[in-house]
Amino acid sequence: MSGTLNKVMLIGHLGDDVKIHYFEGGNCIGRFPIATNESYTNKQTGEKVTNTDWHNIVVRNKPLRFVRNT
């Protein structure tokens, strides 16, 4: 599938420190969890509902660059 591009943008909260492992030859792998939230109001009860989903992210064989806002 040469020439294709897959792009995902997850905006959420970093759940743990990024764990990076480097291999011989310059390749690396990074792993970290991200939490995303979905909020809505239940129309029947009027109650505000928030659902949190956790995503385990793995990045590999690319130079890793992370921007962390605190």
The predicted structure's pLDDT at residue 9: 86
pLDDT in tens, 34-65: 999 999 999 999 999 999 999 999 988 755 55
pLDDT of 59 reads 86
Expressed in angstroms, the distance from the first to the final Cα of the chain is 38
Residues 30 and 20: beta-carbon distance below 8 Å:
yes
Q: Residue type for 25, please? A: G
Kind of pairing, strands 28-41 and 13-14?
antiparallel
What confidence tens digit (pLDDT) does each residue in 1-26 have? 567 878 888 899 999 998 999 888 87
User: Locate tokens 């990024």: which residue?
Assistant: 18
